[in-house]
Amino acid sequence: MAIFVDENTKVIYQGLTGSQGRFYGLLNRDYGTKVVAGTNPRKAGTDVEGIPVFATVGEAVEATGATASCIFIPAPGVRDAVIEAAEGGVKFIVCITEGVPAHDEAWFYNKLRRDFPDVRLLGPNCPGIISPGKCNIGITAGHIAKPPAPGEKAVGIVSRSGTLTYQALYELKLNDIAVSTCVGIGGDPVPGTSFIDCLEAFEADPDTHAVMMFGEIGGSAEEEAAEFIKSKMTKPVVSYIAGVTAPPGKKMGHAGAIVSGGKGTAQAKMDALRDAGAKVGLNPTEASQLMVEVVRNL
């Protein structure tokens, strides 16, 4: 199995006719993902290498039965694109776009929770999601992820950092370890999907046997995840927290990666995770090696 997406997931690319949407939409289709439609109100009725383009998400859903969308819309249009996807009938929205205003994120996060509680948003500012061998939505390179063979132990990955997501996938592959699903939740202050959402899904997935969680400085998401791990997780968790040397008050790459008022430090997050029973690596490679040991002992 996998979490959130699998080989049956049909995906609409909002922004398929743009350069980035086209590149990754076709790349994901070549991987085996069911990319069934794109949207662009000015190019409805055309196609992108055989993928039909519709004016709206609603029309695309009606014609194709799609249940997921991937947003490659520039930041100023993301707010409208997210709501269009939800109103159009999509149940899983992946927003790759970075630079979305925080007040827009807060607005559509709360609107989705209030008016579309059955819709899950991943991102914004995330690499997307890959269930290796089944479905790849977003910008993750499919060839760096090892699909699980029948009966093989598999690891679930959840990360705030896209780059560290790729490193974890590749290092596990080098050690012949399969991945059930890898979820990049993004590094913005208001993510649509949290660590806990993913941990809960991995805990319930019978084909995920252990979990890697990559966090970073800023906010309290990792400490909240540690509480969940301590009270609810039965599967082993390995973690790494980026930003140990980050100076207080300086934003480090991601909009949410900032330590302020003595809160959100890497050390506090590492301490909370260790206290919860997770194994914590001091760098990404060490975390991967810890996971290799975990899988070998499963």
- Catalytic site residues? 254
The CA distance from 96 to 74, in Å, is 10
Q: How far apart are CA 124 and CA 94, in angstroms?
A: 7
Q: What is the C-alpha R_g of the chain?
A: 19
For 273, the token pair is 């995770």
State how far the alpha carbon of 102 is from the alpha carbons of 75, 109, 190, 290, in Å.
Answer: 11, 10, 7, 35
Please say whether the beta carbons of 255 and 189 come within 8 A.
yes
Residue 185 corresponds to which tokens in the numbers above?
Answer: 């939740």
Give residues with Cβ within 8 angstroms of 195, minimum separation 6: 158, 185, 213, 215, 221, 222, 224, 225, 228
Q: CA-CA distance, 88 to 65, in Å (whole number)?
A: 11
- Please report which helix (H) or strand (E) contains residue 51, including its range: strand 51-54
In 3D space, the residue among 132, 127, 92, 64 whose CA is nearest the CA of residue 4 turns out to be 92
Phi, psi (deg, nearest 5) at residue 194:
-105, 170
- Residue closest to 194 by CA, chosen among 162, 220, 167: 220
Phi, psi of 82, deg, nearest 5: -65, -45
Residue 158: DSSP 8-state: E
- Give the side-chain half-sphere CA count within 13 A for 144: 13
Query: For residue 93, which of 63, 134, 61 has the smallest C-alpha distance?
Result: 61
